Amino acid sequence: MANNYINVMFCGNDKVIDGMIIATLSIVKYCKKPLNIHIMTMDLSNIEKRFTPINEKQCELLEEIVKKENKNSQVILHDLTEIFNKEMASNNLNIDTHYTPYIFLRLLSDKVEDMPNKILYLDSDLVFYGDISEIFDLDIKEYEIAMAKDFYGKVFINPRYMNSGVVLMNMKNIKKKDSLKKAREMCLTKKMLLPDQSALNKCCEKKLLLPRKFNEQNKRHKDTIIRHYSMKIIFLPWPHLLNIKPWEIERMHEIYKIHDYDDIIEEYLKIKEKNKSIMPKSQKYAGKQNTHMFRILKEKIIGKKENNTK
Ligand SMILES: [Mn+2]
């Protein structure tokens, strides 16, 4: 494989294929270089019926999208069911959280054969507004990973707490230092509010702090490359959580009033219509209801404000 490839990693089950399509369309809109997209998935339908893997057909669809812009681009599917069952399925204190077990896939990527030395992990709830090579080409030789700050975590957890929705990974250094192995162990043994993210923050020694523009969680700025539509905490007029994803078009338009990637939505809808038979019937992908998450967050935030001891 030539070195001029941009390596990308998406993780999830087939309920996030819509997100992967939108993210991929936005990547190729601004970058015509060859891409290697690695899709990590697994079949956990034994745990819950809806936990079905991304399949070959869906990968072919993604490949069609990237090949249209560069015929050397490709999409590679990795089934991590066995690795997950061996490493993280049992005695895992964080298996049943408000997230799905698919959050652990990125922590297993060092176990996958033929991974490139440098790869950009991406959540499936983000949209590119600029060239992916700007982030991929960053020099991380001295680091294990590169991430941007977490919008809420930097206030409520610690000033350097980073968001794991966009992670530029140096696989060589990660393997050398066993950082992902340490992160997996931490997830197995310590109950956490944001398991994979906190484990990456804790277990990677050398982290490069990325500028906000590579993982914009609050609103788009002029220089934004990646807008990550992660969960928002709305304080007024009453405190609640808002979690609108890029493929929830009506809510995106009506509540966020965001129209700046309508061209991509239009293309996405056409693709979806043409490929109805391979799209999932329901897009409900999240673990438990947001209320659960909010209760914990409220305890954390209000608890912290009330006793300002630490
Ligand atoms: Mn996300």
- How confident is the model over 228-244, as pLDDT tens digits? 999 998 888 888 889 99
Centroid of ligand 1 to alpha carbon of 296 (angstroms)? 18
* Residue 307 lies inside a defined structural domain of this protein: no
pLDDT at 280: 87
Predicted confidence (pLDDT) per residue in 11-70, tens digit? 999 999 999 999 999 999 999 999 999 999 999 999 899 999 999 999 999 999 999 999
Centroid of ligand 1 to alpha carbon of 307 (angstroms)? 30
Centroid of ligand 1 to alpha carbon of 217 (angstroms)? 9
Centroid of ligand 1 to alpha carbon of 309 (angstroms)? 31
Centroid of ligand 1 to alpha carbon of 86 (angstroms)? 26
CA distance linking residue 246 with residue 259, whole number of Å:
11
* Residue 33 lies inside a defined structural domain of this protein: yes
Average pLDDT over residues 220-232: 96
Higher pLDDT among residues 3 and 146, named by residue:
146
* Residue 248 lies inside a defined structural domain of this protein: no
Predicted confidence (pLDDT) per residue in 169-191, tens digit? 999 999 999 999 999 999 999 88
Centroid of ligand 1 to alpha carbon of 126 (angstroms)? 7
Average pLDDT over residues 183-204: 91
Query: What SS3 string covers the chain?
Result: CCCCCEEEEEECEHHHHHHHHHHHHHHHHHCCCCEEEEEEECCCCCCCCCCCECCHHHHHHHHHHHHHHCCCCEEEEEECHHHHHHHCCCCCCCCCCCCCHHHHHHHHHHHCCCCCCEEEEECCCEEECCCCHHHHCCCCCCCCEEEEECCCHHHHCCCCCECCCEEEEEHHHHHHHCHHHHHHHHHHHCCCCCHHHHHHHHHCCCEEEECHHHCECCCCCCCCCEEECCCEEECCCCCEEECCCCCCHHHHHHCCCCCCCHHHHHHHHHHHHHCHHHCCCCCCCCCCCHHHHHHHHHHHHHHHHHCCCC
* Residue 282 lies inside a defined structural domain of this protein: no
Average pLDDT over residues 203-218: 97
pLDDT at 262 over 90: yes
Centroid of ligand 1 to alpha carbon of 91 (angstroms)? 26
Centroid of ligand 1 to alpha carbon of 131 (angstroms)? 19
- Residue 114 φ/ψ region, left for φ over 0, alpha for ψ in the -120 to 50 degree band, beta for the rest: left
Pick the most confident of 95-104, 108-117, 182-191: 108-117
* Residue 57 lies inside a defined structural domain of this protein: yes
Of the candidates 28, 51, 50, the residue with the CA atom closest to the CA atom of residue 130: 28
Average pLDDT over residues 192-220: 94
Identify the CATH number of the domain in which residue 53 sits. 3.90.550.10
pTM: 0.91
Q: pLDDT band for 308, please (50, 70, 90 cuts).
A: very low
* Residue 267 lies inside a defined structural domain of this protein: no
* Residue 131 lies inside a defined structural domain of this protein: yes
Centroid of ligand 1 to alpha carbon of 95 (angstroms)? 18
Q: pLDDT band for 290, please (50, 70, 90 cuts).
A: low
pLDDT at 97 over 80: no
Centroid of ligand 1 to alpha carbon of 165 (angstroms)? 5
pLDDT at 301: 59
Domain span at residue 22 reads 6-230
Centroid of ligand 1 to alpha carbon of 57 (angstroms)? 24
Centroid of ligand 1 to alpha carbon of 56 (angstroms)? 24
Counting the structural domains of the chain, the total is 1
* Residue 172 lies inside a defined structural domain of this protein: yes
Centroid of ligand 1 to alpha carbon of 232 (angstroms)? 11
